């Protein structure tokens, strides 16, 4: 083969520079000859082989429904040998699989080439040696499943003149967690992946993945949730005739004077335009603060809108 390449080199050297078509054809043929020579040889190569752990069903060496509880690698590094053509063009991540059957609740398994299955019979590649890891510790544990609340990890920054009307929520709010009993029982919540959004001008509604805790063998159903929040344009309004109540008056027959107030509110336009002064805004004075003088008017807390101003800010108490 080396002499053949030498002859082609002499031929290329004697071809006229102006004969570009001939030179191009000769170069293509030279490459084809080189490729043929390379693919006909045998080589060694390090590759990753997918690891598949088989957990025996109940009654076959284990008590009850068991699941994998230990952290194992997804692939094993091995040394293979084969023809250049197969190594260059036909070898991929699914060419081999290492199948390992778990035996007993806790055991260290030695890995050998005999545990590796070749998925394509016509593939001219063989496994020579297990490189890393050479052994794997496998632990089994009783299977458990339960519903766990989702905690959204989100940072939302709304645009100017907009407001977030509702808190960030996950849908569904609970997910089914399946895995080793001890790991499932210890889980208080399932976090989402971090979500960062800026300059938000409309409602948030995105499908977002759940974050698997490190060093666990847990499965989530579903694997992702929808993260939602309502965002609206900012609006203000003055509402009149908002009633004022008296708290902690017990048996005393008292009423505020005046009995209503005007309230300036700010919030999402969809919320502000739908507010009912008598139903949606709660104003009150606290009789426990009464010392003979006018009492300040308070508004009950709400996350839907902001009470900016109350007029009058103080009222008297009168008997009736």
Residue 13's Cβ-side half-sphere holds a number of Cα atoms within 13 Å equal to: 6
- Which parts of the chain register pLDDT below 50? 1, 4-5, 7-8, 17-18, 33-38, 89
- How is domain 143-229 classified at the architecture level of CATH? Beta Complex (2.170)
What's the pLDDT score for residue 177?
96
The domain spans of the chain are 2-40, 42-133, 143-229, 235-319
What's the pLDDT score for residue 217?
92
**CA 262 – CA 239 distance, rounded (Å):** 6
- Cis? peptide before 103, omega within 30° of 0: no
What's the pLDDT score for residue 62?
54
Whether the CB-CB separation of 218 and 152 falls below 8 Å is answered with no
What's the pLDDT score for residue 152?
97
pTM of the entire predicted model: 0.68
What's the pLDDT score for residue 4?
46
Q: Domain 235-319: give its CATH code.
A: 2.170.120.30
Whether the CB-CB separation of 76 and 117 falls below 8 Å is answered with no
Residue recorded with tokens 């960030």: 168
């Amino acid at each position: 083969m080396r002499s053949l390449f030498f002859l082609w080199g002499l031929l290329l050297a004697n071809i006229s520079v102006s004969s570009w078509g001939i030179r191009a054809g000769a170069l293509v043929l030279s490459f084809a000859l080189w490729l043929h020579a390379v693919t006909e040889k045998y080589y060694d190569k390090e590759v990753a082989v997918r690891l598949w752990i088989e957990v025996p069903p109940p009654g076959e060496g284990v008590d009850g429904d068991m699941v994998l509880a230990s952290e194992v690698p997804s692939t094993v590094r091995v040394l293979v040998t084969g023809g250049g053509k197969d190594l260059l063009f036909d070898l991929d991540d699914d060419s081999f699989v290492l199948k390992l059957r778990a035996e007993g609740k806790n055991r260290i398994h030695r890995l050998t080439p005999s545990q590796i299955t070749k998925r394509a019979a016509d593939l001219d590649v063989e496994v020579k040696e297990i490189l890393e890891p050479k052994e794997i510790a496998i632990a089994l544990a009783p299977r458990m499943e339960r519903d766990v609340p989702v905690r959204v990890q989100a940072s939302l920054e709304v645009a100017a003149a907009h407001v977030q009307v509702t808190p960030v929520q996950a849908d569904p709010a609970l997910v089914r967690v399946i895995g080793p009993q001890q790991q499932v029982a210890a889980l208080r919540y399932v976090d989402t992946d971090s979500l960062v959004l800026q300059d938000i001008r409309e409602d948030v509604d995105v499908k977002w993945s759940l974050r698997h805790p490190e060093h666990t063998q847990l499965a989530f159903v579903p694997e992702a949730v929808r993260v939602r929040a309502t965002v609206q344009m900012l609006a203000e309004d003055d509402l009149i005739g908002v009633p004022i109540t008296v708290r902690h008056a017990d048996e005393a027959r008292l009423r505020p004077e005046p009995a209503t107030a005007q309230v300036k509110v700010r919030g999402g336009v969809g919320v502000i335009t739908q507010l009912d002064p008598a139903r949606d805004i709660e104003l009150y004075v606290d009789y426990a603060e009464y010392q003979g003088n006018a009492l300040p008017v308070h508004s009950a807390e709400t996350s839907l809108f902001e009470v900016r101003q109350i007029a009058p800010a103080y009222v008297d108490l009168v008997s009736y």
